[in-house]
Amino acid sequence: MPLKKNIIKVVTWVSVAYLVTSFLLPNSQILFWITALFIVFNYSLSLTYLFRQGRISLGIIVLNVVQLVLFCRLHVLIHDLFGVGHYSYTPPLYWYDWVQLVAVHVLRALDLVDALSAYGILLQNLKHQSTLAGMTLFIMHIMVDIFILGAIFRLINHRRFVASQRVSTLVIKESFWERFIRRFEDTHFWFDEHFKEMNFFKLVRLLGLGLAVCLIIVVGISHRWSLMNGLLWPLDNILRTVDFGDAFQIFGWRLHSLEMGFWLATLAVFFRLIVGFYALGLANRFYLYLLGGRGKTLEELVSICTSPQSSEEEIRIAFNALLTFESKKVLPLLVNILANGQLYYRRLAAEALEKMGPAAVMATPHLVAALIDGDGDVRLAASDALEKIAPQWRQRSQKAAIPYIVKTLLESKERQASVFALKSMGSMAKKTVPYLGKVLVTSRSREVCLAAADVLGKLGPVAAQAIPHLMKVLADSHEEVRWVAEEALDKIDSRWWQNKAASRAVPHLVKALSDRESDVRRAAAEALGSMGPAAQPAIPYLVKALADNKNYVRKAATCALDNIDQQWWQNKRTSRVTPVLINALGDSHWITRLTAVEALEKMGPAAALAITPLTKALVDGNHSVRKAALVALAKIDPNWSQREVASRALPYIVKALTSSNAYVRWAAKDALNKIEH
């Protein structure tokens, strides 16, 4: 590799070689200045790489560890060359005291021992006493601060990345509690309005700051602080927290005149901790602005683009940084943001794709789908991007874009605006109808079915092709879906039941008449009834439904038959279901038996097969059934009592003579008299 690519390694090895050599040579001022120059050069090189690459590599970390050893060597040279007055310590002085001095100040740079400093606890034997020694420590603190902050920012961005992975999908399965929470949030309580977008850490940080301020006020009043100390004590602690290079600790500066007892020190530690949380967030934003997004991975940049914690300026910088990557890598991420991101992010994603030009041609279907976004700015950005990326998209990309358009329609929160935009696209609206119809009848999600039916209704007459699909949904198990489907049908065609395509839904509705759910059976019967004469093929199945075990299903079937054909019993297909009605005469529910008898009565001579069962019904335990059976027999065959089929019921009637029910015995005697005569 060229020397430029290995410069960090070369400088690191040269620094190590110099360190080893310096311990073998006698101390001198030349050695002091060479050590200082090594530190300055290495520091400058590290900063240059940091701001060019925007990240802290392993090579830079190793070089800065060597830097700490160089600082340790520099302190030894200051002590030996410029006098022992630069440091204070308890003799004897060992080599590890110098190591301990550097190590403790590294921890101070990380603010890990600030709590001990607040309580006046010292961890090292060796302590600086001069400005020269203090400035050396100050420069070392700055170096450590810069490179440790980079690592902290990487952790923050990793947490953002994890949070940003929760993107929406076409169908979201919700548990009972998720639905409960969602509906509770929709009530728009004050707490919801102010805190539902605030994550746990933000809330804790805000509450912590409020608690710290209250404690400072209480302590200040109880200890009778002066107004100046009351203002300077918090300021002093804020500066100690954000103090870049820890000059306050190194040089012993203090703004207030208060004595730091145990409890005041504890309050200082707590207050600095809270301030530190806020300072980290501000520093991370400054770090992003300073580097312009350089050094961030694709995942980190996407997390910034989609995190609710990011400001608009951060998002803009991150989007611009995304464009520096290869289009093959960044294109899927921009498409994901365009399809699943929030409003502001979607517009920026479209603008970023526009900047990529023809290289983003794979995003054309998604941009076409964005043309029906609920927000006008997103639609405009998508339109501009399409003109830049694929000016001929209207001739080439419509079919490929339809699935994404359907997804956008179903997920849009501004569905009316989306449908209006789709209508303005001419033929594209008509092409989406079959896809919406397919989603409507194949999806098991209530929310998706509702959305699809709603979109079709909003499309109006353009969606006439979906009438059969909407009719199938009229027998859906969810009442709300049935209502929305019926409303959509009325919007598409006020006389939809007369539409030629309506007859295609009859087999599906007929099948629904035998569904396990009684609500579905009733809905299917009502849907068939609303079709009128077009549903004549369903007459036999509706006649079967007259024997349903649910009263409201039977009523729906009766109404449906009357709507389809007021003389339905004369229909040729009706006689096929006579056995079903005969079987219903033995049902345990008297109302079912009565309905079956009345249906057979309406069928007249076509129900001749039912004479024997109806003769048995003359001794039914229910008076209404007995009475209806006699009327039905007279309607089917006025001479029924003289037929051989009637005499087949004699054993059954004779047995009824021994019934414990007096009315049944009288009915049996009356029936015997009619048959004998």
pLDDT > 70 fraction of the chain, expressed in percent and rounded: 72
Q: Which residue has the higher pLDDT, 411 or 481?
A: 481
**Rounded average pLDDT over 178-201:** 42
pLDDT in tens, 205-263: 788 888 988 988 988 888 888 889 888 888 888 877 766 546 777 777 778 888 877 77
CA geometry: angle 179, 180, 186, nearest 5 deg: 90
Read off the pLDDT of residues 383-425 as tens digits, 9 standing for 90 and up: 888 788 877 766 555 566 666 666 666 666 666 666 666 666 6
pLDDT at residue 165, rounded to an integer? 43
pTM above 0.75, yes or no: no
Work out the average pLDDT over 479-486: 81
pLDDT at 465 over 60: yes
Alpha helix (H) residue ranges in 110-242: 114-118, 131-164, 176-185, 190-195, 200-222, 227-242
Measure the CA–CA gap between 474 and 520, rounded to whole angstroms.
9
Asked if residue 118 has pLDDT above 80, the reply is no
Q: How far apart are CA 448 and CA 446, in angstroms?
A: 6
Is residue 566 over pLDDT 50? yes
Which carries the bigger pLDDT value, residue 485 or residue 424?
485
pLDDT in tens, 51-77: 665 556 778 888 888 988 998 988 888
CA distance 93 to 113: 23
State phi, psi for 205 to the nearest 5 degrees: -60, -45
Q: What is the pLDDT of residues 577-600, one digit of tens each?
A: 778 888 888 887 888 888 888 888
The angle subtended at Cα 436 by Cα 333 and Cα 541, nearest 5°, is: 145
With contact defined as beta carbons under 8 Å apart, do 224 and 261 qualify? no
* Residue-level pLDDT at 163: 44
Q: Give pLDDT, residue 196.
A: 42
Geometric angle at alpha carbon 632, from 627 and 637, rounded to 5°: 135
The reported pLDDT for the residue numbered 377 is: 79
**pLDDT, the chain, mean:** 74
Residue among 404, 424, 342, 411 nearest 378 (CA): 342
Instruction: Taking the CA atoms of 19, 24, 25 and 27 in sequence, report the sign of the dihedral they define.
Output: positive
Sequence-distant (6+) residues with CB within 8 A of 584 are 546, 547, 592, 593, 595, 596
Q: What angle do CA 157, 159, 160 make, to 5 degrees?
A: 60
CB atoms inside a 10 Å sphere around CB 71: 23
Please tell me which residue, 458 or 312, carries the higher pLDDT value. Answer: 458
Cα angle 527, 533, 535; round to 5: 45
Say what angle helices 131-164 and 298-306 make with each other, to 10 degrees. Answer: 70
Q: For residue 180, what pLDDT is reported?
A: 39
Q: What is the DSSP string of 73-131?
A: HHHHHHHHHH-GGGEE--SSP-HHHHHHHHHHHHHHHTTSSHHHHHTT----S-EE-SH
Domains by residue range for the chain, with CATH: 3-164 (no CATH), 189-291 (no CATH), 294-424 (1.25.40), 578-677 (1.25.10.10)
- How many angstroms separate the CA atoms of 673 and 668, rounded? 9
Answer whether residue 648 shows pLDDT above 70: yes
Whether the CB-CB separation of 279 and 205 falls below 8 Å is answered with no
Quick: pLDDT tens for 492-508: 887 776 667 677 778 88
46 strand-pairing partners: none
Measured distance CA(60)–CA(81) in Å, rounded: 31
